[in-house]
Structure 1
Amino acid sequence: MFLADVGSTLVAATVRTFLDEHREIGAALAIVVSVVVAWIVDRAIMHRGQRLAEAVMRDDLTAAVDTRMRFLRRLVTLVILVLGVMTAIAQFDGLNRLATTVLASSALLAAVLGFAARQTLANLVAGVMLTIAQPLRIGDTVTVEDESGTVEDVRLNYTVVRGGDGHRLFIPNERLASGVLRNDTIVEPLVALEIELWLPLEADADRAIAALTGLDGGPVVRVAAIASDGVRYTISRGTVPPRERAAHASALRADALRALREAGLLAPLAAT
């Protein structure tokens, strides 16, 4: 037992001496260890999130768990990697003294945070707020600044929203946290089906409303706005699943145009 203790002490002393003489190896080990730990923690959090999602077995809670777990995984990974880099820097006396001097200077630190990293930190803090409050979740159908789509991911600095035609919007989290956000599926899994049509000012409004309200499903028709170049009508007809809204909206527009043309409010199609 005594010999084993002496042997382990000698090995530890030899390793410390070797690392003191080869600082670059210690720095590389710190980076490798931080990457491995980050990967293990990421896998553990992801596994825990999957178990929670399977336990609740509800779409709204599953979306909430998925959103929080994704953000938490990235945040924890970032913290571990930053600690690993700081540990690696600490292996070199020159860099360590430089880092200590920089951190000790509050004025310089404030300048760096204020000018170089303000936007990044603002988006990171906004991402934390979005993850906690959850005005949007993975899979929600949202509208931001007249752009609509499905939330694909909430990342550390920005949120990914996929539009109906497949394009992706990368929206800074700060803009989402401070702006107006419309979420059509935060409470109900269905979204309202509503379209807009413009007609000339001279078109008879009563005939237009009568023709449009006669469509299948008994839609609600309103005069939404009057401008110098025409009148805007909104047509609402029930609710539909988010993924089917584009197709239903297209069909409703076709029905509305057909009804308006039959009522004589639009020019007939030219014969071919």
Structure 2
Amino acid sequence: MNLSDNILSDWLPVILTLLFFGGLTWLSQVFMFNKLKHTGNENIFVRQLLMLLLMLVGLISVVISLPLSENLELQILSLIGLVLSGLLAFSSTTIFGNLVAGGMMRFTQPFRAGDFISFDDTFGRVTELGLFDCEIQTQTRELVSVPNSLLISKAVSVIRRSGTIVSVELSLGYDLHHSRIDELLLQAAQQSGLEEPFVHVTQLGDFAVSYRVSGLLVEVKNLLTARSNLHRNVLDCLHDNDIEIMSPNFVSQHAGPDVKRVIAHSPAFKKVEIESNAEDVVFDKAEQAQQVAIDKVDMLQQLEALKATLAKAQKEQQGPIEIQIEQLKLKISELKDVVEVPEDK
């Protein structure tokens, strides 16, 4: 009996420590990943980090409570610290670096799902902001995963959702007065649906003058179509007025005043209006991800409003409001940050 009593007294702290941290981990899992499921995945990084820290503290507490000598406990703790230090050292440039970068981007929020971004030679719309990488849908509908550490070490250009400038640069001859060119280029920008258009003379070359026509595009999700329409309308407005677009290195050698120039005029018959939905095809996943994010924000605002109403409501009115809150939480939990697009068969 004395031996069994000694064994029980030695291992009782270990058992109690295991039960305590096991129950605490289970409660944390239920609360942070089940009860708070309706809040979405915006704060999942913080919750996962807290769970990791809790398990690490539990492991150290169990080691300390073991019926071992003080020197052996110190050796085990040193071994745990050595393993953790090695993991951090080996993964500092890859996994750990991307994890830290992902956490930094969660706080700074340089861009969101659905935004147009560009860095180096990559341009596209953000479809997912992960813990380790960011998924971008390019102009060819490809999905590119970019490590978070690369995004915080590079200069990233983000197109503002309130609008962006769409421009076209071209070269024209010195025999054309800039006032006439300004009028035609402004007309092309207006036909393209751009607001507040303007024209700049960017360079006086040896053989040609460089112009840039720009305008404000409010609906940025139609960026690709707007650029194409501006190019098309510039061609039509200039060619229909017998104005030839040339290269900056073009050397004009006219043999006489009656030299024939080949300019593509608009056809005499009625133009066929081209309604392009290129963005719906190219950036389909990014568009869905942006819409999901917008819907989630709206539902969270509705949820906060219902909770405020519930706090002020009388007892007979609280029942229907609580049902609405539960239904809204269910809808929010069904929204996914990552929108899976079915692949073509």
Q: Same fold (TM over 0.5)?
A: yes
- Provide the rounded CA distance (Å) in 2 between the counterparts of 1:164 and 1:134: 23
- Which structure shows the bigger proportion of residues in helix conformation? 1
Distance 1:179 1:203 in 2: 44
Please tell me whether the aligned partners of residues 194 and 234 of structure 1 are also in contact (alpha carbons under 8 angstroms): no
- Taking CA–CA contacts closer than 8 Å with sequence separation of 6 or more, which of the two structures ends up with the larger relative contact order? 2
Instruction: State the distance in 2 between where 1:34 and 1:226 align.
Output: 71
Shift of 1:113: 2.4
Confirm or deny that 1:222 pairs with 2:223. no
Q: Name the amino acid aligned to 2:199.
A: V
Q: 2:98 aligns with which of 119, 123, 133?
A: 123
Aligned to 2:158: 183
% identical equivalent positions: 18
User: After superposition, where does 1:5-154 map in structure 2 within 5 Å?
Assistant: 38=29, 41-47=32-38, 49=39, 69-70=41-42, 72-77=43-48, 80=51, 100-105=77-82, 110-154=85-129
- SS of equivalent to 1:190: coil
CA distance in 2, matches of 1:168, 1:224: 36
1:234 deviates by 3.1
1:5 aligned partner: none
Question: Is there any run of 5+ residues in structure 2 with no aligned partner, and where?
Answer: 1-7, 64-72, 191-195, 246-261, 268-345
What letter is aligned with 1:184? I
Alignment of 1:118-267 (within 5 A): 118-185=93-160, 189-199=161-171, 204=176, 206=178, 208-215=181-188, 217=190, 219-224=197-202, 233-263=211-241, 264-266=243-245, 267=262
Separation in structure 1 between the aligned mates of residue 123 and residue 110 of structure 2, nearest angstrom: 15
Is residue 42–residue 77 contact of structure 1 (8 Å, CA) maintained in 2? Answer: no
What count of residue pairs does the alignment treat as equivalent?
222
Distance of 2:153 and 2:137 partners within structure 1: 21
- Shift of the 158–271 alpha-carbon distance from structure 1 to 2, 3 Å rule, reads closer
Give the 3 Å change call, closer, same or farther, for CA 128–194 of structure 1 in structure 2: same
1:128 and 1:209, CA in 2 relative to 1: closer, same or farther beyond 3 A? same
Q: Provide the C-alpha distance between the structure 1 equivalents of 2:217 and 2:266, rounded to a whole number of angstroms.
A: 36
Secondary structure at 1:252 match in 2:
helix
Structure 1 or 2: more strand by fraction: 1
Cα-Cα RMSD: 4.5
Greater Cα radius of gyration, structure 1 or 2: 2
**CA distance 1:199–1:205, change in 2 (3 Å):** farther
Q: Residues 103-147 of structure 1, C-alpha deviation per residue, up to 9 Å, x if partnerless?
A: 344xx7545423334322222112222111222123333333353
Contact 1:122 1:174 in 2 (8 A): yes
- Of residues 148-157 and 225-234 in structure 1, the stretch that sits farther from structure 2 once superposed is 225-234
Distance in 2 between residues matched to 1:201 and 1:78, nearest whole Å: 63
2:37 maps to amino acid: M
